[in-house]
Amino acid sequence: MDRSDGPLKGTVVVDLSRALAGPHAAMLLGDLGARVIKVEQPGTGDETRGWGPPFVGPEEERISTYFLSCNRNKESIELDLKSDDGVEQLTRLVRAADVLVENFRPGVLDRLGFSVERLEELNPRLVVCSITGFGHDGPEGGRAGYDQIAQGEAGLMSVTGPSSKEPTKTGVAIGDVLAGMNGAQGVLAALVERGRTGRGRVVRTSLLSSIVGVHAFQGTRWTVAREVPTALGNQHPSIAPYGAFACMDGMLQVAVGGEAQWARFAGLLGLDAEDPRFRDNASRVAHREALIAEVEAVLAQGTRDEWLSRIGGAGVPCGAVRTVDQVYEWDQTRSQGLVVSVEHPVLGDVELPGSALRFDPRGPDEAEEFGRGYLPPPALGEHNTAVRTWLDEAEREREAVAEPVG
């Protein structure tokens, strides 16, 4: 089943966002079948078009792989929102759209003449997704939001890294990506609500709220137990043994989540499962360093692949630590549709990371899973003419419907 026949078929999304959080949200909606129209500044476009290296393609038309990562399944139209024509075309887009995604700093959209009140006046059914750095209100609501700054401010860096002395950011812009996911989730809920009420709604999220929202057990360690979490490298703060361990030729990971698994794991390694230091999880956490030393002394006697086979065979969760290239070549990754091919107008056939969602066929009429037919990230202004033509046609259709009969 083609992507355009997905659950959001017929839904039009206007993407006013740039960088990563907003574009990621709009891309997720496009993955689900929505038509996403990306509005970009003439001549320059989304600033991520210039973020690199790496760049690919011919020297005169170099393309940022960063931009490619968050703009599949979109069309691109250039509009100068400070010009009369840009305002007119955005007004037409708002009237025709179901969803608008933006991640301007608070107040910018108002200054452009598209306040929440104006958007509702133009299209009462419009769902607006607004993503900010630290929230649209509050004492610091006007701050610019960049992922690494938000990771630090929201506490994530303090629990990431080898120790409390070396706060570390994650290897991806996780605050941006989480905000995009939360924004898309909020849009879907608002669209369901609109089906009942006939009216749209403003959905708000931020990098701050998205990171704090995934603190999970690290959050309740403080809010309930009044214990300040700190970084423990590749070990779990509440479970042991659970983390990365060295063996003869590399690292593997083991997750011993219960006492039955501990008994099997200890027996496999020749450790005493009833050692008073290790007999239950709380004791193992308290004696974590001694436990790690004993585990790694045994693992050092074999290769990573040997231990993965033996530990997995004993029913204890374990895994390799793969590099990114290994992940994309892994047959399990490809079996899940996590690598998709698109025909790019400059680069030709390229592979992109795919959607994390899969939809089973609904009976014999749908012989294939939903998700085929991805669109490549667009060239700047690639759809200028097509979008304007579509708006003209949409206006003529609305006028025809509005004409009195008889």
Q: Are 165 and 59 in contact (CB under 8 A)?
A: no
Instruction: Tell the residue number behind the tokens 């305002």, with chain if given.
Output: 87
Long-range contacts of 312-315 (CB under 8 A, 24+ apart): 314/264, 314/265, 314/267, 314/268, 315/261, 315/264
Q: Are 279 and 271 in contact (CB under 8 A)?
A: no
Instruction: Tell me phi and psi for residue 169, to 5 degrees.
Output: -80, 160
**Which CATH number is 3-214+331-402 given?**
3.40.50.10540
* Measured distance CA(37)–CA(5) in Å, rounded: 17
Predicted pLDDT at 144: 86
DSSP letter string, 248-272: TTEEEEEE--SHHHHHHHHHHHT--
Q: Are 169 and 77 in contact (CB under 8 A)?
A: no
For the chain, 406 residues long, give each residue's pLDDT as a single digit of tens: 566 788 999 999 999 999 999 999 999 999 999 999 999 999 999 999 999 999 999 988 899 999 999 999 999 999 999 999 999 999 999 999 999 999 999 989 999 999 999 999 999 999 999 999 999 999 998 888 899 999 999 999 999 999 889 999 999 999 999 999 999 999 999 999 999 999 999 999 999 999 999 999 999 999 999 999 999 899 999 999 999 999 999 899 999 999 999 999 999 999 999 999 999 999 999 999 999 999 999 999 999 999 999 999 999 999 999 999 999 999 999 999 999 999 998 999 999 999 999 888 877 776 666 556 789 999 999 999 999 999 999 888 887 877 665 5
Predicted pLDDT at 142: 83
DSSP label at residue 235: B
* Measured distance CA(17)–CA(22) in Å, rounded: 5
Q: Where are the domains of the chain?
A: 3-214+331-402, 242-321
| 206 SS3 class | strand
What helix, strand, coil percent values describe the chain, rounded to 5? 40, 15, 45
In the residue annotation, 325 being an active-site residue is answered as no
Q: Are 208 and 200 in contact (CB under 8 A)?
A: no
Q: Could you tell me the two tokens for 158?
A: 């303090």
Predicted pLDDT at 372: 64
Alpha helices in 97-156 (DSSP H): 108-111, 116-122, 147-153
**Cα–Cα–Cα angle for 36, 40, 43, nearest 5°?**
145
Q: Residue 75 forms beta bridges with which residues?
A: 37
Tell me which fold the domain 242-321 belongs to.
Answer: formyl-coa transferase, domain 3 (3.30.1540)
* Measured distance CA(180)–CA(131) in Å, rounded: 8
Catalytic residue among 176, 331, 349, 365: 176
Residues 6+ apart with CB under 8 A from 385: none
This prediction has a pTM of 0.91
Residues 6+ apart with CB under 8 A from 170: 151, 156, 160
Alpha helices in 300-372 (DSSP H): 304-313, 324-329, 331-335
Instruction: Tell the residue number behind the tokens 């969760």, with chain if given.
Output: 317
Residues 6+ apart with CB under 8 A from 257: 239, 242, 317
Predicted pLDDT at 2: 66
Helices (H), strands (E): how many in the chain?
Answer: 16, 13
* Measured distance CA(263)–CA(284) in Å, rounded: 13
Measured between alpha carbons, how far apart are the two ends of the chain, in Å?
A: 43
* Measured distance CA(252)–CA(6) in Å, rounded: 39
Predicted pLDDT at 359: 87
